[in-house]
Structure 1
């Protein structure tokens, strides 16, 4: 109900920024947001197929060209195909109270910084440590996301969901055996994306594609001064640019936009647990495609991860009605 002393435009602005999004199992809309999250992590599960062929190139060069190309593609889309959305969001941002406007800008720009850090460390670990080490980062990330969301966003979990988190912690402990050296890298990768997910849950009101465009443009501006100093030269192979284009469009723009879209209807904790889809697929690809060696502990650990996904999402999977969270 619209308050009597609010104008229609003021009400629309306040609703955009202050409304509580539907709870995970509240309506048919949830399925749409849930599906977007699920598909985005499925897409990322195949990332190693495009990234591993670039292992001969420096991690920074891959990051430079990935971000620069993303910035160009998204800027063209916003300036030439989404002009009306751009104008409306600029007007909306100007109409906000200074505190809310500054908050939206801060969350958007900090998201760009977190994405830049996450991309660099992930590429470095994937190409110079191992695919399994990169996968382990995204085993830790859901736990980090759930804990951060619990304390920062006050997201509540059911007993089943806390059980799933406990299973995840146990599986990560199993998988960390004999891989202590990789944990430091994995923790950095995990923390950067966990904080990104939690921060963007609070970044509401503006068009999600526009928010992502600003974040990637900001990332490009951060990296631009480093390019002349740290780039190892302009690549000449056509295959490099073909793979970078695939990475930019299929493994960056599309899944990231789907992530931001999904955060409108699912909690950060749910997004974090669904993130387990990514390392599970990476593990399967490392095993069956790249033929990396595995052991029985890793098989048990990843099997427990799969169990934790099912337990965490048991209400949605088995169609049970939502009950009070305890």
Structure 2
């Protein structure tokens, strides 16, 4: 009986950590808005550098140095980590640009359709079969994206880049099986020389924010390391204590909060066509979630592999 209570408490704690992680990711646009005067590329460079410093401290605190050594000793894994570093940098830049250019709603769409892109990667890259309900979900999501494309008069590239990079990042991380904290440190370390060089060039030319910005902006830039690491730590603790399926369900907290911020806080344009488009995407996600949970009978080999890859993408 006591063991049962302890397991239940652990699961509840895991859910709380999951809610905290996804909620922080969801309200992250508020933080990026504090640096609206700073170019997105410069914010990205600072985020890479400060994330590396903070995550290195976290790895040292959690005694993950052995995990770092194991990755460095494996050339194949190190190359894939390099690839992950590039992909996550593209994702971070796109997200920061989206927030500070008034496209928070479009960025939320990217996170909503991300699980469906994971399924497509599973089919096209891993050769897994596509279930009937998964096919229905993908078609509905495609219709939703098509509607907003027609309304915009252009492809919603921000949403597609965010979804694509998240999915690709998760797929690679799933293939190499490395410790998430150690992997993130190396991803930042690999691209940090480029970021540092860019910051140095800006500062030398008198255009960098460390010279020209207020102390508040400088502190906010330094805080990008903390704001990146804390949700990841919460996520890691959550996934240790609760199930993949529960974390998969909780992941929709983040884009829901982003959509709320875009409409009600940042007052972005959200006409009826946007709402209809999102309705198609939400219907697709409902079908996808029910199929993965076993409520809808599915005849595919995607199963747990896709669920695990879906969760892995949220580690960005």
TM-score by length of 2: 0.74
Residues 106-159 of structure 1 show CA distances to partners (whole Å, capped at 9, x for unaligned) of 121111111112111221232125223333443554443321222112344432
Could you say what the CA RMSD is over the residues aligned between the two structures, in angstroms?
A: 3.7
Structure 1 residue 299 and structure 2 residue 279: aligned? Answer: no
Runs (5+) with no aligned partner, structure 2: 1-9, 302-316
Residues 307-326 of structure 1 show CA distances to partners (whole Å, capped at 9, x for unaligned) of 22222111566x74986537
The match for 1:173 is 146
The CA distance in 1 between the partners of 2:180 and 2:145, in whole Å, is 33
Structure 1 residue 48 and structure 2 residue 45: aligned? Answer: no
The match for 1:63 is 44
The match for 2:57 among 76, 83, 90 is 76
Structure 1 residue 284 and structure 2 residue 260: aligned? Answer: yes
TM-score by length of 1: 0.72
Indicate conservation of the 8 Å contact 1:137/1:186, yes or no: yes
Q: Identify if the C-alpha distance between structure 1 residues 92 and 132 changes in structure 2 by more than 3 Å, giving closer, same or farther.
A: closer
* Residue 214 (structure 1) shift: 1.0
Q: Identify if the C-alpha distance between structure 1 residues 259 and 111 changes in structure 2 by more than 3 Å, giving closer, same or farther.
A: farther
The match for 2:306 is none
Indicate conservation of the 8 Å contact 1:111/1:199, yes or no: yes
User: How many residue pairs are counted as aligned between the two chains?
Assistant: 284
Aligned 1:198-213 pairs, distance under 5 A: 198-204=171-177, 206-213=178-185
Q: Identify if the C-alpha distance between structure 1 residues 242 and 65 changes in structure 2 by more than 3 Å, giving closer, same or farther.
A: same
Aligned 1:225-240 pairs, distance under 5 A: 225-230=197-202, 232-233=207-208, 234=210, 236-240=213-217
Residues 221-280 of structure 1 show CA distances to partners (whole Å, capped at 9, x for unaligned) of 231222222453215433324434554323x224446389969x859xx96x97655433
Aligned 1:254-265 pairs, distance under 5 A: 254-256=230-232, 258=235
The match for 1:325 is 300
The CA distance in 2 between the partners of 1:103 and 1:74, in whole Å, is 23
Q: Identify if the C-alpha distance between structure 1 residues 322 and 104 changes in structure 2 by more than 3 Å, giving closer, same or farther.
A: farther
Q: Identify if the C-alpha distance between structure 1 residues 198 and 301 changes in structure 2 by more than 3 Å, giving closer, same or farther.
A: same
The CA distance in 2 between the partners of 1:102 and 1:33, in whole Å, is 34
